[in-house]
Amino acid sequence: MDGRYYVVGVALSTRCQVRSGPQGSVSASASNWCLFVRFMVRFSMAIPATTLYDLSVPTFLQTARAVGGVLDRATRHCAETGADLEQLVTARLFPDMAPFHFQIEALTHHAVWGLEAVKTGVFAPPPLVGAMPFADLRGMVAQAVKALEAFTPEQVNGWSGKNLNIDVFRPVDAQNASTSAWAPRNLAFTSDTFLLSYSLPNFYFHAVTAYNILRTRGVPIGKGDYEGRLRTRSV
């Protein structure tokens, strides 16, 4: 349970005890209110909270691993068909969109370095490498998965609720984002809103764009490949 709600609940429950007065007299409505508050405190303590770690790290990992599987499938497809694997590196979904290698670099940056940003207060991914052998792109995704696996719930949950002022690149002309120049803007976030409203949407955008580039080049992948391994509950 979120500690903030637990503290409020305990405070209200304590107030109920105080309101009963030294003689123990209390109105029917106050008595019902106290019973309700005590029930809610006990009930909420039994509900596992969804934490910042739950919302971020396993989510990044599910799709990063799926992207790794998609790159493996592209490698096998080219070996089976004789298609040039290296041509995929610079392939684009549309002429004014960034190439495949950028999509892979960007999704790893928004996952790993998005989490580092909530730790340090600075979004500072490494410089883009640019076009590289397809095998190196596979290695980059594997390294990102390893880095994500190293984040612990204690670490990430300890960063929840922080106020951040982070420089992020935004289009100068928001009405024509596809052709606009981009420049850094300093925006006020919390650690939670930075991950949920900036890092994750950007991560998914680049992951699905990479998927779409491969699909348009004939790689036989489907929705299940993009979804990856679902996080089902134990039964």
Three-state DSSP state, 185: strand
Backbone angles phi, psi at 47, to 5 degrees: -100, 120
What tokens were used for 106?
């960007």
pLDDT given at position 169: 80
Q: Give me the helix-helix angle, 52-81 and 200-216, nearest 10°.
A: 10
For residues 136 and 139, give the distance between their C-alpha atoms in angstroms, rounded to a whole number. 5
One DSSP character per residue, 193-214 reads HHIIIIIHHHHHHHHHHHHHHH
User: Which pLDDT value is given to residue 53?
Assistant: 96
Sign of CA dihedral 49, 55, 56, 59: positive
Which two tokens mark 35?
């019973």
- Which phi and psi angles does 123 have, rounded to 5°? -90, 100
Structural domain boundaries in the chain:
3-45, 52-227
What residues does 188 pair with on adjacent strands? Answer: 165
User: According to the model, what pLDDT value does residue 46 have?
Assistant: 53
SS3 125: coil
Per-10-residue mean pLDDT of the chain, 235 residues long, equals 48 51 57 63 62 96 98 98 97 95 97 96 92 97 98 96 90 76 88 96 97 97 95 89
CATH code assigned to 52-227: 1.20.120.450
